[in-house]
Amino acid sequence: MPSIAGATPRIARAGYKDWGRCDLTFVELDEGTTVAGVTTQNICCSSEVELCRQNIKGGQARALIVNAGNSNAFTGRRGLEAVEAITSKVAAHLGCAKSAVFVSSTGVIGVPLPKVKAEAGLDAVFQAPPCSWEDATNTIGTTDTFAKGAVASAMVDGVKVNLVGIIKGSGMIAPDMATMLGYIFTDAAVEAPFLQQLLSAANSDSFSCITVDSDTSTSDTVLAFATGKAGNAPLGSFADAGADAFAAALRDVCLQLAHLVVRDGEGAQKFIAIHVSGATSDESARRVGLAIANSPLVKTAIAGEDANWGRVVMAVGKAGEPADRDLLSIRFGSTQVARNGLPVDGYDETPVAAHLKGQEIEIGVDLGLGTGKASVWTCDLTHGYISINADYRS
Q: Which of 94-108, 199-213, 235-249 has the highest mean pLDDT?
A: 235-249
> Where in the chain do CATH 3.60.70.12 domains reside?
7-264
Judge: domain 271-391, CATH 3.60.15.10: no
Annotated binding site: 142, 168, 179, 266, 389, 394
Looking at residue 134, its pLDDT comes to 95
**pLDDT level of residue 178 (50, 70, 90 thresholds):** very low
Output the average pLDDT for the chain.
89
Provide the pLDDT confidence category of residue 268 given band limits of 50, 70 and 90: confident
> Would you mind telling me the total number of residues written for the chain in this entry?
394
* Residue of higher predicted confidence among 7 and 393: 7
Does the pLDDT value for residue 388 go beyond 80? Answer: no
Q: Where in the chain is the domain with CATH 3.10.20.340?
A: 271-391
**Annotated catalytic sites, by residue?**
179
Of 241-250, 257-266, 308-317, the one with minimum mean pLDDT is: 257-266
Cα–Cα distance, 28 to 48 (Å, whole number): 18
User: Is the whole-model pTM more than 0.85?
Assistant: yes
pLDDT over 90 (residue 211): no
Q: CA-CA distance, 71 to 16, in Å (whole number)?
A: 10
**Residue 279: is its pLDDT beyond 90?**
yes
Q: For 101-110, what is the mean pLDDT?
A: 84
For the beta sheet containing 181-186, the strands, ordered from the edge strand earlier in sequence to the opposite edge, are 34-39, 221-226, 181-186, 159-168, 148-156
Is a pLDDT exceeding 60 seen at residue 392? no
Q: What is the pLDDT of residue 60?
A: 98
323-333 exposure pattern, b = at least 16 Cβ within 10 A, e = fewer: beeeebbbbbb
- Looking at CATH, the fold of the domain delimited by 7-264 is given as L-amino peptidase D-ALA esterase/amidase (3.60.70)
pLDDT (0 to 100) of residue 387: 67
User: Residue positions in the annotated binding site for substrate?
Assistant: 142, 168, 179, 266, 389, 394
Angle of helix 192-204 relative to helix 243-263, nearest 10 degrees, comes to: 40
Q: What is the DSSP letter of 266?
A: T
**Percent over 90 (pLDDT), the chain:** 66
